[in-house]
Structure 1
């Protein structure tokens, strides 16, 4: 069996990250976001955006590998105020202690092999090294697999929701929060 690993992405990983995003969104989120959103991921600019994210000093982009295959990725960094504010725009007293796990995707054929847990653990370590002690993420209400995963690491909905407009559809997301002191198996 090939050895799994998680490490910081390099700019030459951007193509694989874009490929995983395109493929996984088409399989897992196609009915949720609509064809126009999926088509936008086919642009050559998407790979460039991933290169910029990898190079951005305030963001950590991790990739999961199994042997020679890149199988998933996660993105983390300081949580922006808009991701922490309540509906009236008020921030929690400890807003500066929150990190954001913006994206975690594992290609469907590689799921249920621990890659998601390893990616989240790496992102949590990186956020703790940046001074965060709590994390936040947003998950589509209809994405039961991702919600179940985050609940398994004791990240739970905090009552906040937002609606994203994809141009064809709206996607309702729940905000989940939890500690960065994770015990992921």
Structure 2
């Protein structure tokens, strides 16, 4: 992996996170999501959401950024589960890596650092929902030791996607796989 720094997000990161979120989301879901979602989930919408999230974070919220010489190349967020299917596990709500920087260990570093931060909060397990049909993400989560633990339909206002839940029931094992250095 090239030199990547993982750090906690700050309020002044909201625009960069929103811009990357839109770019990666559109790249990832171009063949899966309806066109109305692409129009509505633009940079302005994502900025408002990220600004709100970063200006008044929930007590259990974690937002991590991956940066390299190229700037922001990935991010991950976790917190209280949004669906009962998560069965008491923390929910990893986002894990996105810029397509130009994939396959360099950034996603794995974000996931392992997130696992370490969740363990620091006293959490023992976590899960993520991935849209059915997103083969690259499914392969990634399986390669990282995630096991399929169910499915649900996201009731989102723009797109009712069918999602698979991938879970890690022993976050400490994920943390122990390989040390990850990160900034607080």
| TM tier, smaller | 0.7 to 0.9
Q: Give the distance between the partners of 1:71 and 1:26, measured in 2 at CA.
A: 15
* Aligned position for 2:5: 5
- Pick which of 41-50 and 161-170 moved more: 161-170
Q: TM-score, normalised by structure 2?
A: 0.84
Q: How many residues align?
A: 173
* Aligned position for 2:77: 75
* Aligned position for 1:40: 40
Deviations 1:103-129 (A, max 9, x none): 100010011111101111111111111
> Which of 150, 167, 181 matches 1:177?
167
> Which of 100, 113, 128 matches 1:137?
128
Deviations 1:9-58 (A, max 9, x none): 11111111111111111111022112211112225242121122224032
1:163 aligns with 2:153: yes
Q: Is the 8 A contact 2:76 2:114 kept in 1?
A: yes
Moved beyond 6 Å, runs of 4+: none
1:104 aligns with 2:90: no
Q: Give the distance between the partners of 1:129 and 1:80, measured in 2 at CA.
A: 21
Deviations 1:117-149 (A, max 9, x none): 111111111111111111111011211111111
Q: Which ranges of structure 2 fall in alignment gaps of 5 or more residues?
A: 180-184
CA RMSD of aligned residues (A): 2.2
Q: Give the distance between the partners of 2:11 and 2:157, measured in 1 at CA.
A: 30
1:61 to 1:137, Cα distance in 2 relative to 1, 3 A: same
Q: TM-score, normalised by structure 1?
A: 0.84
Shift of 1:167: 6.4
Give the match's secondary structure for 1:70. Answer: strand
1:129 to 1:167, Cα distance in 2 relative to 1, 3 A: closer
Deviations 1:61-120 (A, max 9, x none): 1111112510110001233562425xxxxxxxxx3xx21111100010011111101111
